[in-house]
Amino acid sequence: MRLSVVIPLLNERENLRPLYAQLKEAFSPVAEQLEIIFVDDGSTDGSAEGLREIAKEDANVRALILSRNFGHEAASTAGLDAAMGDAIVLMDADLQDPPQTVVQMIEAWKRGNQIVVAVRRKRHGESVFKKFTSWLFYRIFNYISDVPFPKDAGDFRLIDRSVLDALKQMREQDRFVRGLVAWTGFKTAKVEYDRPARHAGKTKYNPIKLFLLSLDVAVGFSTKPLRLATGLGFIVTLVSLEEATRILVEKIIWGIPLPGYALQTVGLFFLGGVQMLLLGVIGEYIGRIYRHSQNRPLYIVGERINDK
Ligand code: UDP
Ligand code: MG
């Protein structure tokens, strides 16, 4: 088999050598042909230099140096677009994704599974907050999304050539590669693993970035948020009608004077808030339409090393 390993990275210089050594050791016995594709996503710590050195020693190491930071999803896409293998593995550069798990994935692939996802059993070196939000994320978005995607699985996965060919046809700007893979609907297997802590360096995801990613998923894989907006509008209108009728009846028929402004003020702010929220939801979709209509490339490769 020909195995492609795709690794997007941002400022991971210290991890490159140990990672490369691990990959070589683990994969050389299982793959007849091995290519390792590093995608440097605009690093500023000399990662590109590190990649050039490794690529000089090993012709099977390819590197794409993007012209700037395009984000994890775009960088993954760049690597996937370049991959030539029969099976393609997507993994992180920080040694959080153990190569030994990939060996298990390859076995599952050989049994006829076109997608093999790695599911995290334990997560080391991550805060309780991150674990909780991530737990919540997978549950909420499985509900929102029109296609189910495996819980507690990150980008770490193996896909068959046929899945990659399908993936390459999806060129949307706001990407969530995991979701796109699930969307293709090919036969999926799971492999469990314990996720170790980062080897070196810091995580590139902060809570805000994760929140924005969640928005992308909510909007990108379903129009349920729009439905939710419609439903909410419907409920608020019904309640208002009911209240208006009640007040009219009280005032005109029973002659009860209207008490205070509190209810009116609260109602005003509530409606204002709901309207802004709903405009925001619509805006999210319009933003996506706008970015899509610009039709810009998803990434720009500044330099290709050992390109085939
Ligand atoms: N990464 C990237 N571009 C970015 C942010 C991250 O290529 O803009 C890479 C990063 O170098 C790593 C992978 O994406 O190889 C996952 O990032 P990280 O380890 O920071 O995420 P975490 O494991 O903390 O969720
Ligand atoms: Mg990581």
Per-residue pLDDT of the chain (308 residues; tens, 9 = 90+): 999 999 999 999 999 999 999 999 999 999 999 999 999 999 999 999 999 999 999 999 999 999 999 999 999 999 999 999 999 999 999 999 999 999 999 999 999 999 999 999 988 888 898 888 888 888 888 888 888 888 889 999 999 999 999 999 999 998 999 999 999 999 999 999 999 999 999 999 888 888 888 888 888 888 888 888 888 888 988 888 888 888 888 888 888 877 767 778 878 888 888 898 889 899 999 999 999 999 999 999 999 999 87
Which residue among 39, 64, 76, 94 is best mutated to probe the pocket of ligand 1, counting the most ligand atoms within 8 A of its Cβ? 94
Q: How far is the CA of 258 from the centre of ligand 2 (A)?
A: 60
Q: Beta strands of the chain (E only): which ranges?
A: 2-9, 33-40, 61-66, 87-90, 115-123, 153-160, 188-195, 301-305
Q: Which ligand is nearest to the CA of 14?
A: 1
Task: Work out the angle at residue 62's Cα, subtended by the Cα atoms of residues 59 and 67, and round it to the nearest 5 degrees.
Answer: 145
Task: Name the residue with the closest Cα to ligand 1, atom 16.
Answer: 92
AA identity, residue 258: L
Query: Which residues share a beta bridge with 34?
Result: 3
Q: How far is the CA of 288 from the centre of ligand 1 (A)?
A: 23
Q: How far is the CA of 202 from the centre of ligand 2 (A)?
A: 8
Residues near ligand 1 (Cβ within 6 A): 8-10, 12, 41, 69, 71-72, 75, 92-94, 96, 203-205
- Residue with tokens 């140990």, as numbered in its chain: 18
Q: How far apart are CA 182 and CA 41, in angstroms?
A: 24
Q: How far apart are CA 237 and CA 216, in angstroms?
A: 29
- Residue with tokens 């379903």, as numbered in its chain: 222
Tell me the CA distances in angstroms from 123 to 36, 119, 154, 195, one per residue in order: 26, 10, 12, 5
CA-nearest of 308, 302, 305 to 56 is: 305
Q: How many residues in total does the chain contain? A: 308
